Each structure stands twice: as C-alpha cells, then as structure tokens.
Amino acid sequence: MAWTSERSGGKFRGREKRLLLYLALVLAVAAWKFLPRPWTPAITLETEHYRIASTASREQTEHVGQVVEVLYAAYASRFSSLPTFQNQHPKLSLRLYKDRAEMRRVNPNLGWAEAFYRQPLCHAYYSAGEINPHQWLLHEVVHQLNEEVAHLKLERWLDEGVAEYFSTSQINENRLALGRIDYNTYPLWWLDLLATTPDLKANLGNGSVIPLRAILTGAGGPSLDREFNLYDLHWWTLAHFLFESEPHRGAVLELLREGGTLESFERLIGPLEQIEPAWHAHVRRIKTGHWQPNSARSARPSRRAARLK
C-alpha cells in the first residue's frame, strides 16, 4: 500500500509539472500575441498641449504637432463651455510610429486598427503614402480630448460620431473648417454603402440604412462586426447632421453633457419619427455633393479596412 501511495503521489507530481509547463506555454504565446514590444522614440517633441514621442522624421513629427494643435483649437472653441472641460491639464501624450509596419510590430493583435487610444496614450503612424497622413491620428486624438480634457461619458454612437465629425473636416490655412467635408477621409470612402436610394423606406428595407433607434441604443441592428463601415457612416452622418443643422446645433452641447442616451436625444433633439427622415435627407445631400456645392470632390483613394475601436 505504501508503494502504491508513493507511485500515485509521483504521478500526481508529474501531472502538476506538465500542467505548469502547459500554462507557461499558454502564457508565453499570449504574451507574444498581445503584449506590446519594447519601443524607443528617436524624437520627443513638445507643443503647447501635446508631448509627442516619435520614430517618424522630425519634419513629419512637427507636421503632426501642428495638426493636433489645429484640432485642439477647434475642439476647445466648440466645447470649452462644457462644465467638465478643463482648460488647465497635463500635456496629452502621443506616440507616433514611422510607418504602419512598426506600429503593428510594437503593438501586436491590432486587427484592422490603423490607430488607437488607450489612456493616456494615442498611438498612430505617419501614413506618408496617403493624401491625409494624419487622419487616423486625428480621430483617436478626439477620443483622447473627450476623455482627458472634456471628461465626457458618451454613448458609443456619439463618441465615435464626434470623433468623425472632427477628423473628416477639412484643414484649410492652418485651421479646421468644422463640418466642411474632406472626401479623402475615412469613412467617406465607403459612402456608397449608405442610403443607396432616395427613399428612406426602401433603404430601411434593403439594409443600407439602419434604424436610428438601433444606432442610438446599440441594439436591434445588424452585426457590428459584419457592418462596421456602415455603422461608422451612421455615427458620422448623425453627428454631422446635429452639428450642422440650425434647429439642432444649439442642443448638441447639452446632449454631450448628458451622454447621448436615447431618452436625452428625444428630449433635446426630437422624436425619432421626425428626426430620422430629416437625417436621411441630410445624408442624401452629402451623397449627391449638395452639402458642399462649391467644393469639387477629389479622387477617392483605394478602400481600406475600417479601424477597430
């Protein structure tokens, strides 16, 4: 009996060792797949509101510094009256990679992400081959401003919509022309997916329009994973409609303060049965180019996968 007990104990210890080995292997694979790699910036640039650690060239880093300050000025001009907005705060931290390959090597398992924000850092690469090499960064910087400067707690549709309202606006003569659409930005590249006919009912039927109730609540619509670009178009156009429509512009700050819930939306903006047709008409004006009648559309770049939030 003693011999059997020792053998059983020995086998148990052997199983323990194997389990520990398997656990170590799983942890090693997880670390390799998910944990960031070491990274050392070549340049650290400080602007009035930002500290940028960068492996891009100095010229590229300085360009990004100018652009984010332009964005900051536009954001503060629009939102500084919010009670939670802090005019005095530590400098915001940005990490700028020299190219997409470096960002993805240092930050594995990004999926389709072209930039991302994890408090307190915005991560992006300098996309030198694109017309707007900074566009991915601008979207994430707005999320950073929402979180660290304005201290907003927003429903997803409004958080993403605000970020896209700023990041799709044109930069002209060192200022952000809010609401003036830059067609060379995401998600504009996918605009053909949205509201494919002039008729709202037909578009609800063919799936090119998601009911606004589903957009506001995040429930009852198609799969977000399958229709990510279409959701992004809804978030952006709804925010653009609210900011650029005279009857609703005045209520947007209060909507932001309250977070953008369905209840606050209908109380401050109007019942969905009235707002949905008006928003749809706004979308159709954007699609037909009538929102910016004096601005010619530039050539559309190749479509790219959407960023994962």
Of 26-40, 186-200, 280-294, highest mean pLDDT: 186-200
C-alpha R_g of the chain? 24
pTM: 0.84
**Domain 43-152 bears CATH identifier 3.40.190.10:** no
Whether residue 215 is predicted with pLDDT greater than 60 in this model: the reply is yes
Domain ranges across the chain: 43-152, 188-287
Q: What is the mean pLDDT of residues 255-268?
A: 98
* Alpha carbons 204 and 206: distance in angstroms, whole number: 6
Q: What angle do CA 249, 138, 269 make, to 5 degrees?
A: 20
Residue 32 pLDDT class (50, 70, 90 cuts): very low
Q: What is the mean pLDDT of residues 106-125?
A: 92
Whether residue 297 is predicted with pLDDT greater than 60 in this model: the reply is no
DSSP state at residue 220: S
Q: Could you tell me which residues come within 8 angstroms of residue 260 by beta carbon, excluding any fewer than 6 positions away? A: 154, 155, 157, 158, 159, 216
* Alpha carbons 239 and 165: distance in angstroms, whole number: 6
Nearest Cα neighbor of 125 from 180, 194, 177, 53 is 53
CA 215 from centroid of its chain's CA atoms? 16
* Alpha carbons 82 and 40: distance in angstroms, whole number: 37
